[in-house]
Amino acid sequence: MKLEIVGGNYDEAARKAFKINPASAFSWWLSASLAYYCKYESILSDPVFDKMSKYLLDNYDKLDHINKHLVTKDGLKAGSGYYLKEEDYPLRVRISTDELVRNLLVWQSQNGENQK
């Protein structure tokens, strides 16, 4: 399934997923961290990532997710997944993030945004 890119990011797609399943914020947080720190691309805007970090921190003990153990409270407080190395991310996160980044780069080339 191809997620919609609006304004050069996946903010709206993340919001829609969150409304259906609040724990999906863990998946988005991990993908956004991997994209930013290892792929050097932003898939979410800074304000959305920061709000997501705060939400996850405030609700950490109430939410369950298969990859929750990778997201530390210290990382959420800092709003950063910098402590994770690329090999720390599960294969499914790496594959889905690669696809998100690839689709974003295509969108950017077609829309003339964020040209490097």
pTM (2 decimals)? 0.93
Q: What pLDDT tens digit does each residue of the chain (116 aa) get? A: 679 999 999 999 999 999 999 999 999 999 999 999 999 999 999 999 999 999 999 999 999 999 999 999 999 999 999 999 999 999 999 999 999 999 999 999 999 875 44
Q: What is the rounded distance in angstroms from the CA atom of residue 75 to the CA atom of residue 16?
A: 24
For 2, residues 6+ apart whose C-beta sits below 8 A from its C-beta are 103
